[in-house]
C-alpha cells in the first residue's frame, strides 16, 4: 500500500500563470509560500512550493487568485526529470492540486463554490470539499 497526499496552507508569491496544453487543456501554475516556525534567532521562515492545477479549477484559480492570496492546496507530490539544453539532468518536486480552497476572509475574495455557481457549471467531484461520507 502506498499513499501520496499533501495539504498545504500558504500565500501566493506571484500571480497564477495560465497556459494551455497543445490539445487545449488549461493548466495553471502557482508558487506557494508556507510559513514554518521561526528560527532560533526569531527570524520568520517559509518553504516554497510549485503547484500545478488542471482543467476548470486551473481557469478559476487563474481568474480569481492573485499574489498574496491565502489558499489551501490539497493534492499529491510529483517528481519531474528533464535535461537542460546543455544536456545536464535536472529534477523538481511539485504539488499536483486536486483541490484549492480560497481562504481569505469573506469580502476579500470570492469563494470557490460561489464562483462555480456564477459559472453555472458544476464542479468535478475532486474539486469539491465534501466533509460528509458518500452513502454508496
Within a domain: 109? yes
> Which structural domain, as residue segments, surrounds residue 83?
6-127
Domain count across the chain? 1
Q: What is the mean pLDDT of residues 30-36?
A: 93
Under the banding of pLDDT at 50, 70 and 90, the label for residue 58 is: very high
Q: Looking at the domain assignment, is residue 47 inside a domain?
A: yes
Q: Is residue 20 part of a domain?
A: yes
Q: How confident is the model at residue 18 (pLDDT cuts 50, 70, 90)?
A: very high
pLDDT at 44: 76
Residue range 112-129: mean pLDDT, rounded: 43
Q: Check pLDDT > 50 for residue 124.
A: no
**133 within a domain of the structure (yes/no):** no
Q: Which grid cell is 70?
A: 491565502
Per-residue pLDDT tens digits for 64-85:
999 999 999 999 999 999 899 9
Whether 134 maps to a domain, the answer reads no
Residue 135 lies in a domain: no
Q: Are 26 and 67 in contact (CB under 8 A)?
A: no
Q: Look at phi and psi of residue 120 and say left if phi exceeds 0, alpha if psi is from -120 to 50, else beta.
A: left
Identify whether 136 is part of a domain. Answer: no
CATH number of the domain residue 45 falls in:
2.40.50.140
68: its cell numbers: 498574496
More confident residue, 73 or 136: 73
pTM of the model: 0.70
Q: For residues 12 and 64, is the Cβ–Cβ distance under 8 A?
A: no
Amino acid at each position: 500500500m502506498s499513499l501520496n497526499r499533501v495539504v498545504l496552507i500558504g500565500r501566493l508569491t506571484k500571480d497564477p500563470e495560465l497556459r494551455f496544453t497543445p490539445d487545449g487543456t488549461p493548466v495553471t501554475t502557482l508558487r506557494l509560500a508556507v510559513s514554518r516556525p521561526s528560527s532560533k534567532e526569531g527570524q520568520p521562515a517559509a518553504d516554497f512550493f510549485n503547484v500545478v492545477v488542471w482543467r476548470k479549477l486551473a481557469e478559476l484559480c487563474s481568474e480569481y487568485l492573485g499574489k498574496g492570496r491565502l489558499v489551501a492546496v490539497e493534492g499529491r507530490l510529483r517528481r519531474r526529470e528533464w535535461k537542460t539544453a546543455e544536456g545536464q539532468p535536472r529534477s523538481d518536486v511539485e504539488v499536483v492540486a486536486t483541490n484549492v480552497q480560497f481562504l481569505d476572509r469573506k469580502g476579500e475574495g470570492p469563494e470557490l463554490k460561489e464562483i462555480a455557481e456564477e459559472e453555472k457549471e458544476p464542479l468535478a467531484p475532486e474539486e469539491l470539499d465534501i466533509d460528509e461520507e458518500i452513502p454508496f
